[in-house]
Amino acid sequence: MPKYLKAKAAADSAKTAALAAQLNAEQVGFKDASLNTAASASIESWLKLRAKESSAKKKIKNKPFNLIPSLLALMVGFGLFFSIGMRFIDGDAKTFLKGF
């Protein structure tokens, strides 16, 4: 998660820089070419950092389907564990596993 927090902090600082550059260009009425290019460059860098933040955020989300294989293995393990007891009470382990 620190990677996401670093990306978020970088995107937030780039956003404030982009807003400041846009405000400077707006105060002149968008007539100064150097301020316009600086504002557009800072906005583009903010958009790139925001995309990196979004991809980092997607990577840390837990997905419930990741648990399915481990839960299936746990089910098989419990079935085998409890079928051992069926041998001692004269039961059929295959029938127990089928019902389990």
Assessment of whether the complete model's pTM goes beyond 0.85? no
Q: Mind listing the pLDDT tens digit for each residue in 8-56?
A: 999 999 999 999 999 999 998 988 899 999 999 999 999 999 999 998 8
Concatenating the DSSP letter of every residue in 25-73 gives HHHTTS--HHHHHHHHHHHHHHHHHHHHHHHHHHHH---GGGGHHHHHH
pLDDT at 100: 67
Mean pLDDT, rounded, for 89-98: 77
Instruction: Please state, in angstroms and as integers, the Cα–Cα distance from residue 9 to each residue in 2, 19, 54, following that order.
Output: 10, 15, 12
Q: How far apart are the first and last CA of the chain?
A: 40
